[in-house]
Structure formats: C-alpha cells, structure tokens
Amino acid sequence: PRYLALIPAAGVGARMAAGSPKQYLPIGGKPMLRHTLDAFLSSPRIAHTYVVVSADDPFIDSIVPGQGVTVLRCGGATRMESIRNGLRALHGSVALNDWVLVHDAARPGLDAELIERLVVETGEHPVGGLLALPVVDTVKRAVAGEVATVSRDGLWLAQTPQMFRYQLLCRALDAATDPSAITDDASAVEALGLAPRLVEGHPRNLKVTLPADIRIAELYLAAFSQ
C-alpha cells in the first residue's frame, strides 16, 4: 500500500479574523499551507499529496508546487464534508488499502520526522493511528455552575495527521450522521467500535487558530528548521 496525504484547506478561518483565509497567512514569510505541503513533499514516505480547497479559491494556484500535489476544488461546508468530498474524488485512483494521512492545513509545524514516527508506529496497526499529546495541565469541567477536576490520567490532545486505510476512512465518515460530533477523523473511526493507536506528537505541530498562534508557530519553525 502507498501512503497518501489529504489536506483539508477549505476553511475560512473565522476565529482568526484576518483578511484572507488563515491557511494563506504568512508564517515566517511563507504561506501557512505551503509549510504544510512542504512537510509532506519532504517526506520520502508520501507517494502523493492531495489538497482540498473551495471551488472558487483564488490563492491556491499561486502557492502549489509544480509536482507531487493535486488540487481538489471540492471543499464543503464543514471540515468533515471537505474530507468526504476529497475522498470521493480519489475513488478509482487509489487502492482500498492505501493509507491516507489526513492533516489540517492549519498545522504548519509538521515535518518529515513526525510523519515518519506516525507511519513507523502505525503502518502495521489493524486500525490506524494519529499523532496526539498527553495532557499535562490539570483539567477542569465547568457546566452550569458546577466545577469538577477531571483526572488527566489517560487523556490526550488529538493532533493530525490521522492515518487510516482509504476504505476504512470512507466507511467511517459515511457512517457519521452528526457532523458536529465529528471534530476529527479518528472519532468517526472510534464510533465504529475501533481503537486507533495514539502516537506521541510534538507541541510544534500546534493548530494555528487564534492570531497569537501565528507568532508561536513562527517561533517553533525557527527553533526546529535545520
């Protein structure tokens, strides 16, 4: 089987409140999405990378490299829909047992080393797996005036890439009826009663969501670039 990357990049980045969609904001002078694409292009494991954008995206052509990346203009209203549409577009050109690494455009700190770690630790797993970070903070749940401390024992924060075989990923996302309950791909797989493997990621693979995250991403990129 091959290892393929699928990057949903059809969001509008509402929480960033910037002029252009956040995946195109510069991080250290380079568009965020280009960092994300370059991580996969620099990994010898990845056979091909697919990026899902909205049909009328005016920016993608100027940042996509000439080789190794295919642009799919089939973004949907939610992240899950964008991924579903992307998977459908791949039908027939990928094998059912190919691995698909789904990775958010908004995580530009990914690099070949983290991709390698995920692939090595998950490539033989019957279900698949994802990068994640063990929770280090004390966790509180506050609902309707009640506050409780939740044991952090066994708690992880999910990152991406999340890696599953093409056929299983399609089945899991097709079975998901409540898109708002599915905030990542692994949760759709878990809903089938399957347990993906958690592989320790790294804080540099943060999700850029709020304006201050851009600076943090730049600091990590400067610290970890060779």
Residues 80-108 as b or e (16 or more Cβ within 10 Å = b) = bbbbbbbbebbeeebeeebbbbbbbbbbb
DSSP one-letter code for 151: P
Of the pair 1, 118, the CB lying nearest ligand C5P is at 118
Question: Considering only residues 28, 68, 76, 123, which one is a binding residue for ligand C5P as defined by CB under 6 A?
Answer: 76
- 138: Cα within 13 Å, side-chain hemisphere: 3
Question: Considering only residues 4, 5, 9, 188, which one is a binding residue for ligand C5P as defined by CB under 6 A?
Answer: 9
Pinpoint the alpha helices (H) of the chain.
32-41, 60-63, 79-90, 112-122, 166-175, 185-190, 211-224
**Spatial separation of the C-alpha atoms in residues 27 and 216, rounded to whole Å:** 10
Residue 23 contacts ligand C5P per CB under 6 A: yes
Q: How far is the CB of 105 from ligand C5P (least distance, A)?
A: 3
101 and 30 Cβ atoms separated by less than 8 Å: no
Query: Of the listed pieces 3-11, 139-147, 170-178, 212-220, which binds ligand C5P according to CB under 6 A?
Result: 3-11
Site pattern 166..195 for ligand C5P (x: CB under 6 A) = ------------------------------
- Does residue 196 have a cis peptide bond before it, meaning omega lies within 30 degrees of 0? no
Question: Considering only residues 20, 85, 187, 209, which one is a binding residue for ligand C5P as defined by CB under 6 A?
Answer: 209
Q: How far is the CB of 107 from ligand C5P (least distance, A)?
A: 8
Residues at the interface with ligand C5P (CB under 6 A): 8-11, 23, 52, 75-79, 82, 104-106, 207, 209
